[in-house]
Amino acid sequence: MISGFFKNLFQVIAFGCILTLIYLNIIIVPDNHVGLLVEKTRGLSEPMLKPGYHWNWTGFVPFKWNVYKIDLNPPVVNIHLRQPLRYGRYLEDADMFSINLNINVKYNLSEQSVLFFWNYLKHNIPEYNNYINDRVRLMVELFLSETYRKEEDVAYLNVLFRKYVSNEGRFKKDWDEIFKDEGIELIQYEITKLEIPEAAVYFENIKNIDKIFQARREATVKRLMAEANVYEKNLIDHAELEKAEKFIEIMQKYPDIIKYYQIEKLNPKAKIFIVNDQVKDHVNDQVKTNEIIKNNIQKEAEKPSNAAPPPEEKGKIESIKK
């Protein structure tokens, strides 16, 4: 009975191992998807996995492979563009004078697209949505720069945008041009929201734009001057701090300097020299030497002179002795 129990337990364990082995080595790729099989050391394995079931031997090494399942038919994407009018950003209510555009876009990816994003995005495949959105915004901004050249064009932007994103417009042609290397096929597109400021209101608000610019310039100059004053004050404070630190260092090295500093502050015209002990000893020695030299000179002057008579006394006749 006991042997039968262990036999059944072994069978259950074996069956569980087989199920685990199957689970870890079978890859299921859904419809409209491709699978990227990436090995840790060797990288991407080609070709890509088609929809269906695939056997991949892991060799009982956990997390040896990473599998990315990429939807080739992603859902509709809403792309939002917000672009201020040329002078709208300088007005008080800038949000009121901006173009707001929402476009719904439906596209299909291909294996070429997946491989491109794998290499371009450094294996970060999920980021391809952001890549596509940014490129579409750039495409619309280029169209706007071509059609919005002067302020009078604001009155026609609504019509021009709707014509651009239509079956007769250039939107699909620009898409095919900008995504030709990525192999992304545009299926459907439409404008879901388009808000452009009223031209009359915009013109009324920018008629005094010169005064607005002047006020902004004056405010900018004042701000720059204030920042310059703060910067100059910081430099002065820093210099004073360095000066104080240097003075403390000198005082610690030469304590007698404080006497000179006090006299200078009390009477700036006073000429006072404070020297250290070594200099004072040198001065005292010099004074003693000078005294010795002075005494020697004085002694030499007091000695009787044996020198010859002056030249004018030579040739005189001495008195005759009787």
pLDDT at 11: 59
**Which pTM value belongs to this model?**
0.57
User: Digits of tens for pLDDT over the chain (322 positions)?
Assistant: 556 655 665 656 665 555 555 556 677 888 999 988 888 777 777 788 888 887 776 665 556 778 888 899 999 999 999 988 888 877 777 788 899 999 999 999 998 999 999 888 877 887 888 999 999 999 999 999 999 988 889 999 999 999 999 988 899 999 999 998 899 999 999 999 999 999 888 888 887 776 655 656 656 666 666 776 677 777 787 777 777 777 777 767 767 666 666 665 555 555 555 555 544 555 455 555 656 655 655 665 555 555 555 544 444 444 444 3
> Using DSSP, how many helices (H) and how many strands (E) does the chain show?
9, 8
- Cis? peptide before 47, omega within 30° of 0: yes
Q: Are 27 and 49 in contact (CB under 8 A)?
A: yes
pLDDT at 322: 39
Instruction: Give me the residue label for tokens 């794998």.
Output: 118
Q: What is the pLDDT of residue 295?
A: 62
Please give the pLDDT value at position 44: 76
Q: In what order do the strands lie in the sheet with 185-195?
A: 77-84, 98-108, 185-195
d(CA 104, CA 316): 145
Strand 43-49 and strand 33-39: pairing? antiparallel
pLDDT at 218: 59
Q: Which helix (H) or strand (E) holds 27?
A: strand 26-29
Of 176, 198, 197, 177, which is closest to residue 185 (Cα–Cα)? 176
pLDDT score for 43: 76
The Cα–Cα gap between 162 and 192 comes to 10
**pLDDT given at position 88:** 80
